[in-house]
Amino acid sequence: MKLDLSKRFGEGNGGCSIQCKANQEVLCNCSSAVVTAAHRVSKRATEPCRFGKGGTCCRNCNMGPCQIIDGVAEMVGVCGADAATVTARNFGRIVAGGAATHMDHGRGVALAFMATARGETPYEIKDGFKLRETALRLGIDPANKEKKDLAMEVGAKLLSEFGQQTGGLSFMKRAPKARQEIWAKTGVAPRGIDREVVELMHRTHMGVDQHYENLLFQSARCALADGWGASMIATELSDIMFGTPQPVRTKVNIGVLKKDEVNVTVHGHEPVLAEALAMMANDPEVVAAAKKVGAKGVNLAGVCCTGNEILMRRGLPIAGSFVQQEVVLATGAVEAMVVDVQCIMQGVSPVAGQFHTALLTTSEKAKMPGATHIPFDEHRALDVAKEILLRAIAKFPERGKNFIPKHQMDVVAGFSHETINYILGGRFRGSYKPLNDNIINGRIKGVAAIVGCDNYRVLEEVHIELAKELIANDILVVVTGCAATGMGREGLLTPEALSMAGPGLREVLEAVGCPPVLHMGSCVDNSRILIALTEMVHTGGLGNDISDLPAIGCAPQWMSEKAVSIGQYFVSSGARVIFGPSFPTTGSREVTDYCFKGMLEPYGAVWDMAQTANEFSNKMIDAIHQKRAALGLDKKKERVLFDMAMRRELGNQALHGVGCHGPGGTAG
């Protein structure tokens, strides 16, 4: 199949996820029989269905499917459902789908954690300090308890919250007090984790909840059960079990594949199998087997968020983001792609079939035509990992014509909330105070999160241009998921990228050797951003709630249902979120107005939409300055003429160290 990719891939437009040079070179060098999402999307001459895109196609019963047109009386559903009901129901189902993935992921981590505490897996409890901290947070006294007993108690408590019917979620008590009061007042606090998905699916069934506000209320409750429940449990227990990320230097892009090693890529989201593979990759028996077939060893590289998990904790490289998953295989240099769950395109199977590559599914929840299934079980983790690696090694002699592009880029990742605390405040007085102080004194204007997927439907690479614009305006950027990999490809995740930052941000971060864009992890790790925002509130000086902070989030190239759940838990937590290039409720003016304006009243934050990098940056910078103005931080200081007495007083203060504020030096 020969396709003209020039429209999609542009010329000399290196760097963007779609047009990145590595992608272009691989696709130009591989056989025309290789078909990827890039080919499929350019073959689709038509725009996506307007009803589907705007949320007004309903197939919730067999009298439909019904396409609804907002404001046209004859164009309601056969049952009478109007655009607002159908759009809100569809929005709810997107949130339920997204939240459910994180819930199943979190449950899986909790079960593996319990098995580890019982000594049934090869993993260990690596971060004892975080275990004790978490125990205290859950009201469990860690005193005089063996590590494994304490881990059992912590794991059992958190696992119980998945099936819990009433009461609240423990980690929601970490939120600022004002936020907890808002949740209590609105009644939106989740009762149990799984319950909220089940109820949302019930409410969106034909003939149940027909009020869009009520549907969006349950969507918010379900999303909160994701962010402050399942996702946070997944992140915290993974940290305790596999180690809390610390800054680590590694590389990203397809060039991390190696000519003389057996390339094994891990793709999906769950860290448990990838950890076992990392533990076995240097096993003497595995290395000997690799040498026997003429390879120097095994090169483990990530794709999507499984990649982000092992990049954050082990410093292993990432070969590609979501839009690169098929292109990585199209190199012909991958012996095995090991997949677990989420974001795995069905298209990888036919691409793998063009080469010697073994496509290996490992989760009972996710099998694929054309793949070999090797069931993973944490109790047999190392045996399964060894079997996978030996299968990959056996493929190495079959490697035929291949092309590995040179492109790879250095990145510094591993910015957990704990790391930020430590970097800013030092080991013995870890604190967000230097960050808050520098926001107050104006060197840093605020914080922006760029999260989520990359997407073949988006022609402009918004992430990169947006991040550059934000850091140039002295806004600290935090990133997760595939957006982070895209930033990595462009060199934004290195301290050297500070040359692109505004003078204030540069001055603060140069002192601590931090990049201006901080990689905080996989998409489940967006919970780290919730904690970082909470910490900023607790540190003081920037208001009483997340909604007071000069902080904003966005997902300019969102693709997955998870992104919508994530966006909704940020909005319900008080952070404004901008999505692009589309929003799933635009088929109903009422519902979109409610999301873009009406949510301000219950949650103190709203959704918004933008398309170009320019539009995103204008809206985000404006929003940050509005928050600064509300906090009284954007007022121009009156010029003060100092007399002798005032100068003497200043001198005394300097002598006694008053005004010295961490990495920024003296406070302004």
Length of the chain: 668
Q: Which two tokens stand for residue 551?
A: 């902080």
Binding positions for ligand SF4, 33-62, rule CB under 6 A: 58-61
305 binds ligand MSK (CB under 6 A): yes
Nearer to ligand MSK, 446 or 452 (CB): 452
84 binds ligand SF4 (CB under 6 A): no
Binding positions for ligand SF4, 572-611, rule CB under 6 A: none
d(CA 272, CA 305): 12
Beta-sheet pairing, 66-67 with 57-58: antiparallel
562 binds ligand MSK (CB under 6 A): yes
Is the distance from CB of 306 to CB of 266 less than 8 angstroms? yes
Angle ∠(346,309,427) on CA atoms, nearest 5: 165
Say which residues have a Cβ less than 8 Å from residue 178's Cβ, sequence separation at least 6.
544, 545
Nearer to ligand SF4, 206 or 394 (CB): 206
d(CA 161, CA 567): 22
Binding positions for ligand MSK, 329-368, rule CB under 6 A: 343
d(CA 255, CA 246): 24
DSSP category for residue 594: I
Q: Which two tokens stand for residue 119?
A: 């000594």
Which span (56-64, 398-406, 555-563, 605-613) binds ligand MSK, by CB under 6 A? Answer: 555-563
For ligand MSK, which residue has the nearest CB? 481
452 binds ligand MSK (CB under 6 A): yes
Nearer to ligand MSK, 199 or 340 (CB): 340
Q: In the stretch 214-253, what mask flags binding to ligand MSK with x, by CB under 6 A? A: ----------------------------------------
Binding positions for ligand MSK, 478-537, rule CB under 6 A: 481-482, 522-523
267 beta partners: 303, 339
| Residue with tokens 């003060």, as numbered in its chain | 640
Nearer to ligand SF4, 76 or 360 (CB): 76
Say which residues have a Cβ less than 8 Å from residue 525's Cβ, sequence separation at least 6.
231, 235, 308, 312, 480
Helix (H, G, I), strand (E, B) or coil at 553: strand
Per partner kind, with CB cut-offs from 5 to 8 A, the member of ligand SF4, ligand MSK, none near residue 481 is ligand MSK
66 binds ligand SF4 (CB under 6 A): yes
DSSP category for residue 17: T
Helices 212-224 & 83-117 angle (0-180, nearest 10) = 20
| Residue with tokens 């019917």, as numbered in its chain | 165
Is the distance from CB of 445 to CB of 628 less than 8 angstroms? yes
Q: Burial level of 113, CB count in 10 A (0-12/13-18/19+)?
A: buried
Per partner kind, with CB cut-offs from 5 to 8 A, the member of ligand SF4, ligand MSK, none near residue 206 is ligand SF4
64 binds ligand SF4 (CB under 6 A): yes
Per partner kind, with CB cut-offs from 5 to 8 A, the member of ligand MSK, ligand SF4, none near residue 304 is ligand MSK
Per partner kind, with CB cut-offs from 5 to 8 A, the member of ligand SF4, ligand MSK, none near residue 482 is ligand MSK
Instruction: Provide the minimum distance between the beta carbon of 410 and ligand SF4 in the complex, in angstroms, as a whole number.
Output: 52
How many C-beta atoms surround the C-beta of residue 564 within 10 A? 29
Instruction: Provide the minimum distance between the beta carbon of 185 and ligand SF4 in the complex, in angstroms, as a whole number.
Output: 33
Nearer to ligand MSK, 498 or 520 (CB): 520
Helices 128-137 & 147-163 angle (0-180, nearest 10) = 50
d(CA 302, CA 273): 12
Nearer to ligand SF4, 81 or 470 (CB): 81
Nearer to ligand SF4, 66 or 449 (CB): 66
274 binds ligand MSK (CB under 6 A): no
Q: Which two tokens stand for residue 285?
A: 């028996």
Per partner kind, with CB cut-offs from 5 to 8 A, the member of ligand MSK, ligand SF4, none near residue 58 is ligand SF4
Per partner kind, with CB cut-offs from 5 to 8 A, the member of ligand MSK, ligand SF4, none near residue 506 is none
Nearer to ligand SF4, 4 or 74 (CB): 74
Per partner kind, with CB cut-offs from 5 to 8 A, the member of ligand SF4, ligand MSK, none near residue 508 is none
Which residues would be at the binding site for ligand SF4 (CB under 6 A)? 58-61, 63-66, 77-79, 81, 86, 206
Which residues would be at the binding site for ligand MSK (CB under 6 A)? 269, 304-305, 322, 343, 452-453, 481-482, 522-523, 559-560, 562
